[in-house]
Amino acid sequence: MANTLLMPKATAVWLVDNTALSFDQIAQFCSLHPLEVKAIADGESAQGIKGMDPVITGQLTREEIARGEKDGDYRLKLSEPKVRVPESKRKGPRYTPLSKRQDRPNAILWLVRNHPELKDAQISRLVGTTKSTIEQIRERKHWNAANLVPMDPVTLGLCSQIDLDLEVQRASRGREAPQPTGDTLLPAALTERLTPEQPKPRDEDEELDANAVFAKLSALKSKDEDTDEE
């Protein structure tokens, strides 16, 4: 687990109220913009946030704060944690920020329509929702069903394209490919067998007999002469 500051804004509130550190020093230590720190000092931001003492949490020492107060150019250093906590794998639904929770029903509707192969548990992992909510949207029983609009959860920032592709791939395993509907082209294996019809060759018995032809011509000529004489 990376050594990162816990609750940076609450820590900034405490440093503004309890130290003589500059706005730039606090901003650098808490990974905030100096204007954010100034807004905290002016009471325009972080209202209602209780300050957190970084000394008590072991993330900063009194000596480090004293060095920063003496030298305005000094950059505070985060203390090394005494206990290494292994990074745990995420279990259960994905956490969704409050600002994006209103978009979850639209994302669920998009997933239900565009990827019906996904199971409820997979949709829950992707957008951080409950199976009951998915069932309500699937059956059009959601309280806001009339106003829902299908929206891509990747575009909404609720999940990554990699996560979505992975879940779709998992859901598609073992499923038969959909049968084509409507008129389709014949497979190449069949078209290769189809050849234009060739004219049938004449049998030898059907060869024209020259003598018979001349005999018929002579008979026709004789009839014509008899007709002229009459």
Convert the pLDDT of each residue in 68-127 to its tens digit: 999 989 999 988 766 554 444 545 455 555 555 678 899 999 999 999 899 999 998 898
pLDDT at 15 over 90: yes
Domain-located, residue 18? yes
Domain tally for the chain?
A: 2
Question: What are the tens digits of pLDDT across the range 144-194?
Answer: 888 889 988 888 888 888 888 888 888 887 565 555 555 555 555 555 555
> Cα(189)–Cα(116) distance, rounded to whole angstroms?
33
The pLDDT assigned to 85 comes to: 47
Asked if the structure places residue 36 within a domain, the reply is yes
- Is 168 in the same domain as 105? yes
Q: Is 60 found in the same domain as 123? A: no
Q: pLDDT tens digits, residue range 181-220? A: 555 555 555 555 555 555 555 554 444 555 666 666 677 6
Residue 220 falls within a domain, yes or no? no
For the chain, counts of helices (H) and of strands (E): 11, 0
The pLDDT value given to residue 159: 85
- pLDDT for 75: 92
- In whole numbers, what is the pLDDT of the chain averaged over residues? 77
Q: What is the pTM of this model?
A: 0.39
Asked if residue 40 is part of any domain, the answer here is yes
Assess whether 105 and 147 both reside in one domain.
yes
The answer as to whether 161 is a domain residue is: yes
Q: Is residue 112 part of a domain?
A: yes
In a domain, 186, yes or no: no
Buried b (16+ CB within 10 A) or exposed e, 97-134: eeeeeebbbbbbbbbbeebeebebebbbbbbbbeeebb
Domain limits for position 21: 8-70
Residue that terminates a domain, selected from 142, 172, 202: 172
